[in-house]
Structure 1
Amino acid sequence: MGLEEREIGIDKLAAGMYVCRLDRPWTETPFPLQGFMVESDDDLALLRQYCQSVWIDIERGLEPPDAPRLTLGRRTPAPAIDETQLGKARYADSRGFDEELPDARRAHHESSSLAQRIIEDVRAGRKLSGKQVEDAVTPVVQSVLRNADTMFWVNALQRHDGYAYSHAINCSALAAAFGRHLGLPEALLMDVAAGGLLLDIGKTRLAPGLLDVSGPLDAAGIASMRGHVELGLAALDESATIAAPVREMVRSHHERYDGSGYPDQLADASIPLFGRIGGIVDTFDALTSDRPHARAIARHEALQVIYRERDRLFQRELVEQFIGCLGVYPTGSLVELSTGEVGVVMTQNPMRRLLPRVMLLTDADKRLRDAFEPLDLMERAERQPELPRVEVVRPLERGAHGLDPADLFL
């Protein structure tokens, strides 16, 4: 069974049903972005204020009779990996954030070192090693399976020597976490993580200096840059041990949902599922990383950019699932609280996405604290309801108040 949804009118909704999509953007409502269980008449009344219809997940809650079924991207058949793989697995964190943190740091360091070696080998003309790729992604996938937020946290706080290395490991971790969120079987998580690692491997064989151009490329430069896809495929084809889904992801991660991408101008579900995933992951990490021609933007802002391109560059359903995976305030984001304090998001609370766990960095006057302090906004609201509610009032831009979490040794 894939990631299956049923659309129903708001008047048919009942307690015990799990709402996974709305007929309007989640960001325009007070509801948790990834979905929620309808538990009371108050929930129903609030939904009626915002929606005419919703989609429910029949695996997580009650199923209404005679409701139409929706499966992601079913307009045309997709090659190789298709939507029947979505929802095949159900994952739950086996470790808490603090327990996983040391292993996540070790996994990130090990995988980053191997990724750098892989990139340097291909740049030097040596054959891509499928074994090295597997060794690089395995620690990341295993850490993500234990606790995805911890790997996001470690990733967000790293200083990287170069965009190529950081982009490879970031995309690998993002793809693994997104695949986990979508319920892909573990074997496919390895493939999607390997695809994320190798998305831009062809750029190692571009003409020297092309990647360092600080301004817009001319027509010849654009054509050369787009050639990195074919160069990457050639590098993959030199290794007999690279799985077909990985090759497909590398080939199609620049295809776009409206057919405006390259190299084959594929559209809709004719773009392989891994290619659609790769396009979102690649774009998100590029937007949130410093590049020669552009400064990084904040994570929440990158999600807004991708959301605005739903149904044009990216598949709407996958965009919504990606936002659900990362959260309204993605891990590593700077946020201002209702107390005036500034913190950085540590982990998501799946049932209350607007109340994450944060690390407090400043006092109410924006002065850096002598000792940073974790605060779980959901736990505080539930355990101390008599106290004034503390919540996120706004996400902050990168570097706001002179703060860069990567400088603070968190």
Structure 2
Amino acid sequence: MQIEEREIEADQVRLGMFVCRLDRPWTETPFPLQGFYVHELSQIETLRNYCRRVWIDVELTQRGYARSFSGMSALSSAASQMTTDRDITPNGASVSTPAPTRDPRLGSATYRDTVDFEHEVPRAREALENTATTISELVEQAQSGKPIEPEVAHAAARPVVASVLRNADAMFWLNALRRHDGYAYSHALNCAMLAAAFGRHLGLPEDYLVELATGAMLMDIGKTQVPQPLLEREGPLDPLSMARVRRHVELGTQMLQDDRFSATVIEMVRGHHERADGTGYPARRSGGDIPLHARIAAIVDSFDAMTSDRPHAPAMARHIALQDLYRDRVTRYYPELVEQFISCLGVYPTGSLAELNTGEIVAIMSQNAARRLRPRVLVLTDPDGRLLSGFRTLDLLSADSAIEIRRPLADHHAGIDVKELYL
């Protein structure tokens, strides 16, 4: 996924273009989502009123998805995902995709960072530690057959949501630096953070974000009832073993069949392996039969699984995982939801490594909402790739415009492990 952007005057914006960046922070404009197709003349007029220059995503504009959203607002298109009954896959094949029902909660809330990165870091660290401890207790309770208490699960999710709402980057940065005890624990925590951040990005209300974080945290709770040797087996599973592992969805749903858990949480557990084209499991639901929170769960679950070390596969670099999601966006995940997820995390996600055009290797510390391609970074090496004795931060937004990110790098590039180097 090489995202090509083109800078143009706001007066040059036309219907059908995908606007991915503005010359000012998104929070200073009326647009609820960061990145949108232009479907109405009123959107062009608003852009002209607020901006002098904008950037368009060339590929998305050329692919002509706007034809599927004719006459819809940016928010409606993001909410409805697809309004026609046929789409074109990246290889040119045509597939049927029933249109999901619009969810009115999308874009109903507006958020902006209320605490800067440095001040949120200590609060995010405390929230992260408390939530990680509670998740460990929940997993151990589930393994021993004890019921999951909704109050405890919500208590673990709320600090994550609160920190993400104050500042969307601090917790992701700290989590990138901490060592993870095991996949079950880290996956639950990572998914809770991702769901909360994605929900914030989509403008969903705060109480719904808590349910999203709780559901994401409990998506794989049913795996505590699956024989551990199956989960730890390296290599592909035979059909019988695969069927036993896939039962974790049913087992997890049964564990949460309690009136005190919301339908949102239960549907996320039940539906996080369903896919837009009906190829998922366990019910092979498709299109509009899959509610918004289950679609969010599928994206979050897939991304974190791909970027985590598992017995059968090493962790994938974050930018490669985003490429995979982008490639499957039409058939499996809904295009605009994936596009918004990429916009949420940034082309260079927080915690990942990258190389500057100066040759220095950096870790992405936080995003710049106004210029996603110019994040704040931690410089780790000199131009020759030698580790620095003292790391320094660099905000590419205010740095020399000639300095830019040349390419994203895989985690542990050249043996560099941020967890070993910082904090």
TM-score (norm 2): 0.82
Count, aligned residues = 373
1:397 lines up with 2:410 in the alignment:
yes
Task: List alignment gaps of at least 5 residues for structure 2.
Answer: 1-8, 27-32, 37-46, 84-97
Are residues 18 and 370 of structure 1, via their aligned partners in 2, closer, same or farther at CA, if it must alter by over 3 Å?
Answer: farther
SS in 2 for 1:322: helix
* 1:369 matched residue in structure 2: 388
Which of the residues 129, 138, 141 maps onto 1:118?
138
Correspondence 1:7-406 to 2 at 5 A: 14-15=10-11, 22=18, 34-35=34-35, 43=54, 51=62, 67-69=71-73, 70=77, 71-73=79-81, 75=83, 83-237=103-257, 239-381=258-400, 389-406=402-419
TM-score (norm 1): 0.84
Whether the 8 Å CA contact 2:274–2:290 is kept in 1: the answer is yes
Are residues 147 and 17 of structure 1, via their aligned partners in 2, closer, same or farther at CA, if it must alter by over 3 Å?
Answer: farther
Shift of 1:208: 3.2
Whether the 8 Å CA contact 1:361–1:369 is kept in 2: the answer is yes
1:258-295 CA-to-partner distances (Å, cap 9, x unmatched) read 00001111111211111100000000000110011110
Whether the 8 Å CA contact 1:97–1:149 is kept in 2: the answer is yes
- Report the AA paired with residue 35 of structure 2: G
- Report the AA paired with residue 80 of structure 2: L
> For residues 93 and 19 of structure 1, what CA distance do their matches in structure 2 show?
31
Are residues 45 and 214 of structure 1, via their aligned partners in 2, closer, same or farther at CA, if it must alter by over 3 Å?
Answer: closer
> For residues 317 and 147 of structure 1, what CA distance do their matches in structure 2 show?
24
Whether the 8 Å CA contact 2:18–2:35 is kept in 1: the answer is no
- Report the AA paired with residue 131 of structure 2: S
1:314-350 CA-to-partner distances (Å, cap 9, x unmatched) read 1101000000000000001100001111100001111
Shift of 1:398: 1.5
Are residues 43 and 208 of structure 1, via their aligned partners in 2, closer, same or farther at CA, if it must alter by over 3 Å?
Answer: closer
Shift of 1:15: 3.7
Whether the 8 Å CA contact 2:18–2:56 is kept in 1: the answer is no
Q: What is the aligned-residue identity percentage?
A: 47
> For residues 182 and 244 of structure 2, what CA distance do their matches in structure 1 show?
21
> For residues 280 and 201 of structure 1, what CA distance do their matches in structure 2 show?
18
C-alpha RMSD of the superposition: 2.9
Whether the 8 Å CA contact 1:336–1:394 is kept in 2: the answer is yes
Are residues 247 and 363 of structure 1, via their aligned partners in 2, closer, same or farther at CA, if it must alter by over 3 Å?
Answer: same
Shift of 1:406: 1.1
* 1:58 matched residue in structure 2: none
Shift of 1:72: 2.3
Shift of 1:207: 2.0
- Report the AA paired with residue 258 of structure 1: D
- Report the AA paired with residue 335 of structure 2: R
